[in-house]
Structure 1
């Protein structure tokens, strides 16, 4: 058994033992332990299984870089998945379980998968799960995918605060370089925020030690802390700066012991990235065995946790930094032997074999020996030190570029970025004196930098040949080997981005922290190019996984997206409305306590036969005012609006810059220099913002303004054959004859001493009148309408019945009957595309080759045989029901029409207009039905009812 607790030393409290379980077995740790250090202290070697082959894995690293020790942790009966054992502090009564293993990591029944490894090279899933069809394998693959298991009961409270902060300088990393930068800036009077993801400052100084300005480094660190606070700044530990965003905004996750974790949004004038470096493995045969770990991590566990990771320790290295770890471990009582690939090795009292590399690692469930120089050497731990990889993630997130530095065998920042400096090990300065100098300069320090004894770091890279024998792991968690890289290159995946996706190299939960450079070196060797020529993948935030509760903070539910409420909500409830959310608004779905289907069908049928009242107050009402109002609305709309007469209304689309339908609605021209854009309820905020953005970017803001008046006006709509009669009975003082108020026109008047606007516009296909009054007058108007409804055989109508009426007419709901690729001509609206010569949002995209594709998905109707049930919404339309079926589109809306007494449906189908009359299969959850492609207009195709006629239904 390797790994045990030393009787003295470390930063743990032996007087506070902590009980925990791992995979059901009981263990004891101590306050100050991490889960990983406690497992190592108890001699636990296998802590998890690799993702693909289920090979045994032991602890590799001591912090966020560890790809192996990923665990599910249960506290107080609630489980949090996929935590890093090296980062998580040990607590009493934790139940820790390995992931990707059952029933335990040590005895995983899926370990047999590794026996079939030869049949599972990179990309095998692309080639294997094709025949007979993907659906055959999908349940099994999905069951095996993923790592930990979610606990649906674990719903953290919504109390994670978000904090905004500004400072002169943000220093990320409180190691030697970060301390020097913060010290220089603070002593120059700058406000500094110094963040570090460990519980205390010091970085590698905490376990490697060091002398600064002639004294112990702790005295220097304490002085820096005092200087930062005295200058009005702050020192934040247990805080991870995980992302750099536009404008050098830095987001940081602060872990707090007694309070909920916090998200910090920091806007510094300058950033110093001093995040250190990560020790990378040597790519030797069987380097994934439990007991193979980072040399620096072994030193961390020794100095911080008083854990000696083994009794007979072999150290394989190509650089000088491993010697300090080896000497400390030997001093603690381990038998240590060093295998250095270089001929010129540093002076040491330890046994060193130069010019040799590890040729094999023996022992499946743990290291028992290593083979080097043709001889077998007994060992229970193998420490690997293949050089250091600068932590340049924040620099690259800020769009920095890297260059290969042969001197340190690492990718380091190339050209500087405005407002961001990289210093210390993150910049390739791997000695204490060099890190202090770089940090001092990055912090704007004047005069001499903090002093440290001269250091020396030498490294000679050892990259494996593409045809090197044995299984050599590059990405431990994802089971990517050297042979996988060579295979990907042979199959044409020579780009680093292709390599990443084809092999999953660097896509594990550590995001390539230990594997990226070795992967690049392997690809470079296969391709016969230099590492710098190969390039790097794109580093994206977050640097390490951040809980979604921290990202969301208190912005969830009503605090994230406040539910909007109608002015007349209380009146609707009093009339028995069943309220539901539509587009962010709480609106009546139907009225009455009886069965919803019966109520909805009754309301829809009554609206077609007599008259119905529904509340349209949620519709957007955005005014565009000024001499250039016509120019702005023209640019904003697919349909030209500047030709619209005062008192008239025009329906049209708003497009995205990609030419797809963004929203639809009507626009009223209130005056020569004043328009009212009435958009859909759910898009009102977005439309108002879009108008404002373009007003500022393209137009003279002094000549046009945008005012969102949605909340000011309430709109009550009467629709149906008797709508005009009922509106006339209200005595609103507005002429209602067709000559004075034709379809798509509006008139103004007054009601109860306030302005009134009556618009003749319809979303049902029947004669309709939208009556808009200030919200304060809405109750009075509604009371008058409700009192008059019985005399005309009318009633109230909710949104569900409205959805049936609009679908009968083929009217779309954007986002329901459209998708992210739908363009106006896919909906049959061709005129503006063919006729408009001026510029408008999305115009250029409408003429790209993709927009001309005859197989674009187009809006159609779908009819089923008499007596059948409505089609399921979301069902796929396919050419046939045989094997290998291909989706042509899908059902977007489906209802039973009480007026037509049959089901109706709308759908988006490839080449739909040309398919009208065809009968196609409709596939849903294993069931296959048939449907005929028809016109989307199922009711009153001539449109006579809009003008008062009673067209044959």
Structure 2
């Protein structure tokens, strides 16, 4: 047992010791300790240095309210900066070093800066370094600024999961009020989530002897069991760090030290704040010395960790809660001297080690000073949500006032500091009833900073803001609380003013002789406590970086032996069957050409554009003229960027006068949707144009090939499928078993094709019936690899594969809109620029090789005769099973004028010959397409 560890059991496991170092010296603690509690147990008081003057600092608080003990922690070779010692769990072989101190917190060579404090007051940097030139001093100041160092090597595997969640009631805070409220809500049949930032629930209850005739541990266990037994969820080590728009609550769920927290994006029908209250510092001379701590912090260290922070303690308090603290500490073996700060100015004596406390001529020989200036409710989340604050003179604190929608505060967060009353209030709120007011036992005498008092009295411990700094700010007319904050940096430390703001506001109020509530408060902003950036970032790789989309028909594809792969962001069949990949793909191509191929085309975009202005809008969006498109018809077209570059191709169907369906490329659906939405809001009336992406709500089964009409005829759709009644590039709508079905006669293979779209929940039934209908005709399912060959045989392009970042429509042979379309469209002016009219622009061509020659490599360069310059490159290249020889597409300088020319194709040191030809190799007259 170390000198400051008591016999009180606490919440640590003394059977599991933990070895660690601090500033290079070895120490031992136990499982369940924090860095701060373990160091205090070993008699270490100085755990850090202040930011500006490098004065010695020891813990003020026992949890998130401590601004002093900040450390860089190294574990397993990985460094983690700015870890608060009061909240960092102790881990075996942890190596901790105080930030802002060199070579150690106990001896900091920069402590000499404190000798110059008279010249380094608030705002000195604004005045001192302006002459002769700020830039002369900037490098040195920036080097000295900041706390801690960020490692250049980010910890490996430090990635956070992100979860979107919902509950009926979210209770934030696992103390007495939070537990009671969560239990009442859960037993009332409501879906409850209870979160607390400690690993063990109970809050300040562990300081109590009994609660409702049971020990705190028994009572807490009973509440948790009841909550979970009624279907509620509990999340320990989970911090609610912010409330954002529309009631979104950010929850950081921490696991083992060294792992990134999980981010819960929680939305709740009702949010209950049971966040408790903090002990306020008392402002007196030397109140920043190590050994001056909060009364509540000392009780927490004793109750949770079995650590007695001092043997001879001066207890300076202005409120009635000090009585219970005195009894608790006395029972643990401390000698307590009660000090009334109202009886005269007090000052702490000593340097790194506290030597005593003086009040007037009287000196008290003590090793610790515990101070409490009253309780400050934690209303940060309340203010994040837009809640108002009311000043309570009886409690000398700001309390929750007008409530944000769906939020209520209970317990100490609501100014209810009496335990019995807090339980009654919590149970009423949890059960959905109004809370009844009970008698209050908490009392205090106002105790705030006295402007003009002697000595250096510290308000912001980390940033070295003193009472004199506040007085200086007032003299220089920085009297607004927001100006005071920025001029002095009060409340800008890593604890964001949890310990300093109230004293600073009170000091400014006293200086101006105004009531404190008139001075107001600074703005509360998330996060409530610092959280790792990585938590917002989440995983930055694999599916969580670019989520893989899944097909509704995936089970059918797997049952058919599909080889699934990622194509355009979707998990899709590449081919079907087992065996040689090339043989399987060739068989699918020939099946489609000779009979029919059945293809899952569900990823094709199905973005509906509707409204009175839909026609003008899509006519502006598309390079091609859409205004003349009749209902029931389909048109192929391009979408362009403002630079005139082809960003997507596809077809657009007009269902009615004011309703269109855009079928864009599978891999471009998201970008097309964003493109449409951006232009809908730019120069258009968004109330007359409506865009709905229904891509994943509809699944599409395509039948393509000479037998496609015969196969479709076997489905009881009640349609006339003749070429006259249902010609190419038209669309019809029907129903089957009261399910809407949309059939488009449009082809990506050059053969007659039908794209049958149905809601995704009915897709499996449609697929099975189409496959069964196709079997007698020799039709088989085909994958995207076969489809790629089929479209290349026909000379159909894939945008992004057969185009690049400079390809314009006329480079692909589509020239009429550029020459004749009169209404404005996106990219129109760019198509007439000098660059757009250069004669050597790369154009789409076909590339034929000699009989028996092998396939041209995709990406191979088409070069000039000296092999010194690239004239273009091969974009698509396949061995065509249909034609019995290779086919290739490419982009070639002035390609349209080179038909018949023999060019050199270079790849990896090998040069081949190819003949420039038309891009369409199969059925150039289109007879099969219009059959």
Task: Flag whether TM exceeds 0.5 (same fold).
Answer: yes
Q: Which residue of 2 aligns with 1:443?
A: 430
1:71 matched to 2:71? The reply is yes
Work out whether 1:699 is the aligned partner of 2:676.
Answer: no
Superposition deviation, residue 211 in structure 1? 2.2
- Structure 1 position 287, deviation (Å): 0.6
Corresponding residue SS for 2:97: strand
Aligned mates of 1:336, 1:185 — CA distance in 2: 42
Deviation digits for residues 27-57 of structure 1 (CA, Å, limit 9, x no counterpart)? 1212222111111111111110000111110
CA contact (8 A) 2:317 2:372 kept: yes
Gap change, CA 1:520 and 1:714, over 3 Å in 2: same
The structural deviation recorded for 1:366 is 1.9
Shift of 1:765: 7.3
Report the CA distance shift for 1:690/1:111 in structure 2 as closer, same or farther (over 3 A). same
Deviation string, structure 1 residues 780-810 (Cα, Å, up to 9, x no partner): x999998987589861399xxxxxxxxxxxx
Residue 538 of structure 2: which of 538, 553, 569 is its match?
A: 553
Taking a change above 3 Å as real, the CA distance of residues 105 and 248 of structure 1, as seen in their structure-2 partners, is same
Are the aligned partners of 1:715 and 1:771 in contact in 2 as well (CA < 8 Å)?
no
| Residue of 479, 487, 509 corresponding to 1:502 | 487
Distance, in Å, in 1 between the alignment partners of 2:482 and 2:808 is 65
5 Å-filtered alignment, 1:824-903, equals none
Deviation of the 1:650 alpha carbon: 12
Are 1:386 and 2:383 counterparts? no
Matches within 5 A, 1:605-616: none
- Cα RMSD of the aligned pairs, angstroms, is 4.8
Where does structure 1 lack aligned partners over 5 or more consecutive residues?
342-354, 565-583, 585-619, 655-662, 749-757, 774-780, 799-953
Secondary structure of 1:18 counterpart: strand
- 1:796 to 2:863 alignment: no
Q: Where does residue 477 of structure 2 map in the other structure? A: 492
Could you list the per-position Cα deviations for residues 844-879 of structure 1 after superposition, in whole angstroms to 9, with x for gaps in the alignment?
Answer: xxxxxxxxxxxxxxxxxxxxxxxxxxxxxxxxxxxx
- SS in structure 2 at match of 1:5: coil
- Deviation string 1:234-277 (CA, Å, 9 cap, x unpaired) is 12211111111222121211122398632222221111000000
Q: Distance in 1 between matches of 2:125 and 2:671?
A: 41
Give the corresponding residue for 1:897: none
Does residue 470 (structure 1) correspond to residue 542 (structure 2)? The answer is no
Tell me the CA shift for residue 721 of structure 1. Answer: 15
**Tell me, what secondary structure is at the counterpart of 1:211?**
coil
Number of the residue aligned with 2:838: 766
Greater mean deviation of Cα atoms: 198-207 or 105-114: 198-207
Flag structure 2 segments of 5+ consecutive residues without an equivalent. Answer: 550-568, 570-604, 630-634, 697-796, 846-854, 875-931
Native 8 Å contact 1:309 1:381 kept in 2 = yes
SS in 2 for 1:500: helix
Is residue 2:126 matched to residue 1:139?
no
2:466 matched to 1:481?
yes
Work out the CA distance in 2 between the residues paired with 1:723 and 1:218.
74
Determine the C-alpha separation between the residues in 1 that align with 2:817 and 2:98: 77
Q: 1:230 to 1:770 in 2, by over 3 A?
A: farther
In the alignment, the residues of structure 2 paired with residue 683 and residue 219 of structure 1 have an alpha-carbon distance, to the nearest angstrom, of 57
Name the structure 2 match of 1:518: 503
Distance 1:563 1:309, change over 3 A: same
Q: Aligned equivalents of 2:531 and 2:137: distance in 1?
A: 32
Determine whether 1:544 maps to 2:529: yes
SS at structure 1 position matched to 2:484: helix
Partner of 2:270: 270
Distance 2:445 2:280 in 1: 13
Cα deviation per residue 1:334-360 (whole Å; 9 max; x = unaligned)? 22101124xxxxxxxxxxxxx424421
Provide closer, same or farther for how the CA distance between residues 185 and 495 of structure 1 changes in structure 2, counting only shifts above 3 A: same
Aligned to 2:518: 533
| C-alpha distance in structure 1 between counterparts of 2:135 and 2:146, whole Å | 18
Alignment partner, residue 100 of structure 1:
100
Deviations 1:409-448 (A, max 9, x none): 1111111222100000001111101211221222135699
**Residues 384 and 524 in structure 2, CA contact (< 8 A), matched pair in contact too:** yes
Q: Distance in 1 between matches of 2:464 and 2:105?
A: 16
* Residue-by-residue CA offset, 1:491-512 (whole Å, 9 max, x unaligned): 1222111111111111111111
Q: Which residue of 1 aligns with 2:219?
A: 220
- Within a 5 Å distance, the mapping from 1:26-45 to structure 2 comes to 26-45=26-45
SS in 2 for 1:170: strand
CA drift at 1:761: 6.4
Q: Does 1:255 align with 2:254?
A: yes
> Cα gap change, 1:223/1:54 in structure 2, threshold over 3 Å: closer, same or farther?
same
Q: What CA distance in whole angstroms lies between the structure 2 residues aligned with 1:417 and 1:9?
A: 42
Tell me the distance in 2 between the aligned counterparts of 1:766 and 1:405: 77
Distance 2:345 2:370 in 1: 11
Write out per-residue CA displacement over residues 611-646 of structure 1, whole angstroms, 9 at most, x where no aligned residue: xxxxxxxxx999967651366589999xxx999999
Alignment of 1:434 onto 2:434: no
Give how far 1:201 is off: 1.4
Q: Aligned ranges for residues 255-404 of structure 1 at < 5 Å? A: 255-257=254-256, 261-341=261-341, 355-404=342-391
Q: 1:368 to 1:767 in 2, by over 3 A?
A: farther
Q: Secondary structure at the match of 2:242?
A: strand
Contact 2:861 2:871 in 1 (8 A): no
- C-alpha spacing 1:772/1:300, structure 2 compared with 1 (3 Å): farther
Provide, for residues 699-755 of structure 1, a one-character-per-residue CA deviation record: whole Å limited to 9, x for no partner: 2456x668999x97448569999999xx6xx9x5x678997799999999xxxxxxx
Greater Cα offset, 388-397 or 328-337: 328-337
* Counterparts of 1:549 and 1:747, CA distance in 2: 39
Query: Hey, what does 1:232 align to over in structure 2?
Result: 231
What is the 5 A alignment of 1:16-35? Answer: 16-35=16-35
Superposed displacement of residue 769, structure 1: 6.3
Give CA-to-partner distance per residue, 1:78-120, whole Å, 9 cap, x none: 1111111111121221111101000001100000111111111
Residue deviations 1:432-474, cap 9 Å, x none? 012112212221356999x99x762111121122222211111
Per mean C-alpha deviation after superposition, the further-off stretch among 547-556 and 784-793 is 784-793
Could you tell which deviates more after superposition, 290-299 or 529-538?
Answer: 529-538
Asked whether 1:13 is paired with 2:19, we answer: no
Q: Distance in 2 between matches of 1:460 and 1:395?
A: 26
Separation in 1 of the partners of 2:20 and 2:461?
Answer: 27
Q: 1:492 to 1:636 in 2, by over 3 A?
A: farther
Distance 1:48 1:644 in 2: 76
Is this contact kept in 2: 1:433–1:455, CA < 8 A? no
- Describe the superposition over 1:178-205 as per-residue Cα deviations: whole angstroms up to 9, x where unpaired: 1221121112111111111111111111
Answer whether contact 1:47 1:57 (CA < 8 A) is retained: yes
- Aligned 8 A contact 1:356 1:373 in 2: no
Q: How many residues align?
A: 694
1:736/1:477 Cα in 2 relative to 1: closer, same or farther (>3 Å)?
same
- Tell me, in whole angstroms, the C-alpha distance in 1 between the residues paired with 2:315 and 2:55: 23
In 2 relative to 1, CA 772–766 (structure 1 residues): closer, same or farther, beyond 3 Å?
A: closer
Contact 1:317 1:386 in 2 (8 A): yes
Cα shift at 1:222 = 2.6
How far did residue 689 of structure 1 move?
4.3
- Counterpart CA distance in 1 for 2:611 and 2:672 is 20
Residue in 1 aligned with 2:164? 164
The alpha carbon displacement at 1:281 in A equals 0.1
SS of equivalent residue, structure 2 residue 354: coil
Question: Cα–Cα, structure 1 residues 415 and 111, in superposed 2: closer, same or farther, change >3 Å?
Answer: same
